[in-house]
Amino acid sequence: MLMNLFAEIDVSKLFGLALRTSIGVQAATFALAAVGLNLHYGYTGLLNFGVVAFMAAGAYGMAIFFTQGWLGGSILLAIASGLAFAVIIALSIGLPSLRLRADYLALTTIAIAEVLRISFRSQRLLDLTGGPFGLPSIEDRNANVSFADVITVDWNPIGKGNYGAWFLEFDEKTLWVMIIGWSLVSLASLLIWGLMRSPWGRVIKAIREDEDAARALGKNVFSYKLQSLIIGGVIASLAGIVRAFDMGFVETQQFRPQTTFFIWTVLILGGAASIWGPIIGSMTFWFVIIFSEELLRQMVDSGWIPEAILKSNDIASVRMILMGIMLATLMIWRPQGLVGKKEEAQIDVR
Amino acid sequence: MGKRLKLVSSFIFLVLGLLLCLPIAANAQSDNELTIRGTVRVGRDVIPDVQILVTDAQDTEIGAVTTGEDGKWEIPIPGLGEYTVTLVGPLPEGVSVKEGATDQVVVNVEEYRSKAVGFQLTGEDKKPILEIPPTWERLLNRMVSGLKVGLLVALASIGLSLIFGVTGLVNFAHSEMVAFGAVIALLLESTTGLTGALFPLVILIAVLAGGGLGYGLEKGIFGPLRRRKMTNISLMVVSIGLAFLMRYMILIYHGAEPETFESFRIQSGVSFGPIELPAKDYFIIAISFTTLLLVGILLQRTKLGTSMRAVSDNPALAESSGIDVNRTIMWVWIFGSALASLGGTMIGLTQVVEWQMGEKILLLIFAAVTLGGLGTAFGAMVGGLAIGFASETSTFWLDNDLKFLIALAVMIVILLVRPRGILGVRERLG
Amino acid sequence: MSDNKSSELGNVEPTPGSTKLDPILTIDNVVRSFGGLRAVDIDHLEVQRGIITAFIGPNGAGKTTLFNLITGFDKPDSGQWTFHQLANAKSWTTDLSGLRPHQIANKGMVRTFQLTKSLAKMTVLDNMLLGAAEQKGESLRNALFTSRWRQQENTILRKAEDLLERFKLSHMRDEYAATLSGGQRKLLEMARALMSEPKLILLDEPMAGVNPVLVESLLVHIENLRDEGVSVLFIEHDMDAIMGISDWIVVLAEGQVIAEGTPSDVSKNPAVIDAYLGSAIAEELKDV
């Protein structure tokens, strides 16, 4: 029986697809967003449940600026305006709410993220945000025109063609965005590493431990939290921008609260408060998810799992279930994740 | 806060405020958009205030609107393809879908122009429908339906608030407990044939199942974890994981298709003075109201209620005065989960039962309990009523898709200005 | 009590609200009420520079609340308090009322907490380094440029190691603070507060929960502080300790100053004995 199962499984495809995703753009963007969240939650102890608000701010800020053709519609200015939008979001979350208790901050951030998403989706903003259809407009999308073109086509130094082999074969566009994505991950990680080894980072960690102690030692806790929120938020917004370049469009469906929790899972899996945590977390996360999905798919297709239990078009839901299980079980049994320090990982922010 | 900081933060607020107003103030969509549109009419009379829902082939909601005074509606769609247009209701008294026709129309949009969709409706005795009721009357009706939604949100919220009160946990899986109730009820109705007059039995079993779910969660997951001294923040993250697990289990076993209870298909309205609602709404309002009343009595007058409130106020003190804290927490889970289940069933009755209903109501529930004050059952009731009422009534002036904004805005403002909510007690200082 | 610094006190009247020769902190009309209860209600109080002042009083007398108020961790309903940074210079003063905790700490008035706030998931050394004031590397502008803060960091490091040596914590230098005993945490918190070279240090029950052997060394540390010129203000319940090392005692009851004076003044004050100390403690005081 078991031999029979192995005969049905395409092992090469199983590992190939999983590996492909774990080094792909998606993994890079999730790692990038997790680097931002790591500064918020891992180091500063801010319970940010609105990661997606920063990603949306970056992506929409960039896309709106570009599609509206403001200031000549330069893509670099568009990216800058995406980052600026993220700073505004960080300030508008931070200034009023950083004094709140941790769980209240969590609720406020998730609510602000939803406000942003619903506003973008509103039909009244159709001319600006594309409403439910996103940007660029349907006509442009049908004509294959996107804000991503400048970056992925015009400025692409890689010649047309496919590179790599086996399941790890990428076209020049994907490869280029992958390079951009992982470079940004490296840069952001380096930045966080540099910050956290400085006295600045020491204050940030102290705030995670005990705000009042930091205050009693003369540290302006509020200002440090705001700085953390802005820096982490801008990093997360870069993730949103890279993802937008990868997909070629933005729409509100990409920014539902579940994306926030994907990123939380990535961070907890890798290990909060560690430099490598977000990167290892994201790669492992996508490997496990795609591996399981593909395994299930093959088992369903070959009749090993009867239709009554799982239909093949339900497999996409398995991803979410896996994510839920991972998040909960990690929290219970391994809060420090794969590479985090056990001593630093237990959450007891108040 | 320094003066400069104050200035900066008020500026930011202004910007944020403008941002929030944008969707409300911006111009309506331009003319050359791809839309599905139509006019709801029976004979030559148009019907205002009927909700229309458009979903795509994957059952993702594209948009929902309420017909205007002229009975007209229009919903933009993202591109060519197949869409399902649903007449959600409510239809005025005496009007129903024609024999042989349905309240759902599938349209295939094949070219870049708006597509008109009509429903085949019929007046009961061919009597022409009277002219459009006056504005105040429609507003009144919207407010009554707001009251209904408020009662439902209150029902669904109490459990979350009670559980927070006795354990300090913000349970993100609570909304899935609401969805669970609705799905169980639907499953029962469709498999056992307990329809019509027997339907209350379905509700009862769903409530019991909800209580069982609460028991299972406390016994199997949250109780043991709490005794392992996990912090409430960690437990909150666990509950998020659990919420996704439950939500997508529901998707797999219930399916993506929204369904309605057979006992309560589209019903024509029943008048009660100027108020005109589908018959089931009276039923829902009555049940919800009675339940809330009973909950109030239970909390105030019974021993269990007293110990719940005592544990909520001060667990250590409650323990030392002879209250079995763990037992009380268990009852709170059972009780809160059963109420969530009832709320879910009722929400399924007014709208549809679908796997996403938990996600959709989650933030409404959070808004309700923060408004009322996390941890107080009466706060959840008041907050639920207010949030449900405000968001539903707001559709009289605002787009349907903005009604959540009202709830979220209330929640954010409350969290910032008065985190303990309107009925909550200020945390004691060290 | 021979080492008590009566010289700096001069002949100050042992009456509530008396004027000191050279106050470091003056408190005026500070009121804080919870509900209907006036937890703190102080008309006027001066704290003398260069000595050890103790706040005593029964539970609920408002000692910790007063600490929280003057260090900015709680807001009074009304009132103001002033910090006199320079000795014998009443004009060079700072109004502390309305300032936030970190601003007050940066003026040179640093506190510790009743329940120690050692940062458990940081090492003992990091705890110490954090204490230093005006670090260049703590500003985001400089953080990434090691050259801008390396030198200062080394200075701070040496200072931290000296202090750790003095407080006998050197062997725990690289351990997480979580591994320290209760008493060691108190020591660490005190040492950390000293990193910023405060002018006035406020200790909230430094001896509570510390084993008797350590209490002895804590007392020595506190006396050493005074001898180095740091003014000390502390809350304590341990009567022996208070009588042993305080130069001046302020007695609080129901939020008000009911008496102040040297240990011997206070132990003889009938109002204190009647109104608060009770006969059992009065017995103890007679021995002092």
**In a domain? residue B9:** no
Instruction: Identify the chains in contact with B, defined as 3+ C-beta pairs within 8 A.
Output: A, C
Tell me which residues of chain B, numbers 87 to 146, contact chain A at a CB-CB cutoff of 8 Å: none
B25 to chain A, closest Cα gap in Å: 8
Statement to judge: residues B189 and B219 lie in one domain: yes
Q: Are C6 and C262 in contact (CB under 8 A)?
A: yes
Distances (CA, A) of B172 to B242, B331, C41, C89: 8, 19, 45, 59
Report the alpha-carbon distance of residue B402 to residue C83 in Å, rounded: 54
Is residue A212 one of the residues assigned to a domain?
A: yes
Q: Is residue B349 part of a domain?
A: yes
Q: Does one domain contain both B145 and B112?
A: no
Same domain, B121 and B227: no
Q: Is the peptide bond before B90 cis (omega within 30 degrees of 0)?
A: yes
Residues B90 and B211 in one domain: no
Q: Which pLDDT score, from 0 to 100, does residue B17 have?
A: 57
**Distance to chain A for B18, nearest Cα, Å:** 12
Chain A closest-CA separation from residue C137 CA (Å): 5
- Average pLDDT estimate for A17-31: 96
Q: Give the end of a domain, one of B69, B98, B125.
A: B125
Dig out the tokens for B396 from the structure: 């009289």
Long-range contacts of B130-136 (CB under 8 A, 24+ apart): B132/B46, B132/B48, B132/B69, B133/B274
Coil, strand or helix at C103 = helix
CATH number at residue B182: 1.10.3470
pLDDT over threshold 80, residue C6: no
Tell me if B164 is assigned to some domain.
yes
Full pLDDT tens readout for chain B, 430 residues: 455 555 555 555 555 555 555 444 444 333 446 788 888 877 767 788 888 888 887 777 778 888 877 788 888 887 778 888 888 877 777 777 777 777 888 888 877 667 788 887 776 554 445 556 677 888 888 888 899 999 999 999 999 999 998 998 999 999 999 999 999 999 998 888 777 778 889 999 999 999 999 999 999 999 999 998 888 889 999 999 999 999 999 998 888 888 888 777 666 677 777 777 788 888 899 999 999 999 999 988 998 888 988 888 888 888 888 889 999 999 999 999 999 999 999 999 888 899 999 998 998 999 999 898 888 888 899 999 999 999 888 888 877 777 888 888 888 888 888 888 877 765 433 2
- Are B169 and B297 within one domain? yes
Question: In the sheet that B51-56 helps form, which strands lie side by side, from edge to edge?
Answer: B61-66, B51-56, B81-89, B104-109
Return residues 64-93 of C near B (CB < 8 Å).
64, 68, 74
Query: b or e along B50-83 (b: 16 or more beta carbons within 10 Å of the residue's beta carbon)?
Result: bbbbbbeeeeebbbbbbbeeebebbbbbbeeeeb
Query: Which of A215, A224, A234 to mutate to test binding with chain C, by most C CBs within 10 Å of its CB?
Result: A215
Answer yes or no: is pLDDT of C138 > 90: yes
B257 has a chain A CB within 8 A of its CB: no
For B279, other C-beta atoms within 10 Å of its C-beta total: 12
Do B49 and B159 fall within a single domain? no
**Would you give the distance in Å from CA A23 to the centre of its chain?**
14
CB atoms within 10 A of CB B265: 10
| Chain B residue whose CA is closest to C33 | B429
Find where tokens 């900066």 sit.
B8
- Contact C100/A at CB under 8 A: yes
For residue A300, give how far its alpha carbon lies from the nearest alpha carbon of chain B (Å): 14
Put simply, the answer to whether A126 touches B33 (Cβ < 8 Å) is yes
pLDDT at residue C204, as a whole number: 92
B:391-430 residues touching chain C, CB 8 A cutoff: 429-430
Q: Indicate yes or no: CB of A200 within 8 angstroms of CB of C196.
A: no
Cβ–Cβ below 8 Å for A118 and B416: no
Q: Looking at the partner chain, which of A201, A206, A221 has a beta carbon nearest the beta carbon of C119?
A: A206
Q: What is the DSSP string of A192-217?
A: HHHHHTSHHHHHHHHHHH-HHHHHHT
More confident residue, A193 or B426: A193
Distance from CA of A92 to the nearest CA of B (A): 6
Under DSSP, the state recorded for B101 is -
Name the domain count of chain A.
1
Probe site for chain A from C75, C83, C99, C102 (most A CB atoms < 10 A): C102
Residue type, B20: L
User: What local confidence, expressed as pLDDT, does residue C172 receive?
Assistant: 93
B195 in the same domain as B294: yes
Q: Comparing C-alpha atoms, which of B213, B215, B194, B193 is closest to residue B203?
A: B194
Overall domain count for chain B? 2
Calculate mean pLDDT across residues A322-326: 92
For residue B255, the enclosing domain spans 136-417
Look at B234 and A346 and tell me if their CB atoms are within 8 Å: yes
Residue A5, pLDDT score: 67
Type of residue at A160: K
C101/A212 Cβ within 8 A? yes
| Model confidence pLDDT, tens digit, residues A145-156 | 888 888 888 888
Query: Does residue B162 share a domain with residue B99?
Result: no
Residues B257 and B318 in one domain: yes
Alpha-carbon separation of residue A25 from A58, A156, A283 (angstroms): 17, 16, 11
Highest mean pLDDT among A224-238, B246-260, C69-83: A224-238
Q: Which residues of A touch B8 (CB under 8 A)?
A: 91, 95
Q: What is the ipTM of this complex?
A: 0.90
Q: How confident is the model over C8-53, as pLDDT tens digits? A: 676 777 788 888 888 899 999 999 988 778 899 999 999 999 999 9
User: Which comes out higher in pLDDT, residue A29 or B116?
Assistant: A29
Residues A345, A272: contact at Cβ < 8 Å? yes
Q: Which residues of A touch B74 (CB under 8 A)?
A: none
Best B75, B111, B248 member to test A by mutation, with max A CBs in 10 Å, is: B248
What percent of chain A shows pLDDT beyond 90?
Answer: 63
Contacts of C111 in chain A (CB under 8 A): 216
Distance (Å, whole) CA B80 – CA B63: 15
Neighbours of C3 (CB within 10 A): 11
Domain-ending residue, one of B67, B101, B125: B125
Q: Per the confidence metrics, is the pTM higher than 0.90?
A: no
Please answer yes or no on whether C102 and A218 come within 8 Å at the CB atom: yes
Q: How much is the pLDDT for B26?
A: 44
Q: Is the domain of B108 the same as that of B160?
A: no
Domains and CATH numbers, chain C: 6-118+198-287 (3.40.50.300), 122-179 (no CATH)
Number of CB atoms found within 10 A of residue B226's CB = 18
We report the CATH number of the domain holding residue A72 as 1.10.3470
- Which domain range does residue A39 map to? 10-136+146-345
Output Rg (C-alpha) for chain B, integer angstroms.
23
Residue B79 structure tokens:
């591109």
Q: Which of B67, B90, B125 is the last residue of a domain?
A: B125
- Contact, A101 vs A350, CB < 8 A? yes
Give all strands (DSSP E) within C205-286, no chain letters: 231-235, 248-253, 256-261
Q: What's the whole-number average pLDDT of chain A?
A: 90
Same domain, B311 and B249: yes
Pick from A199, A209, A213: CB nearest C135: A199
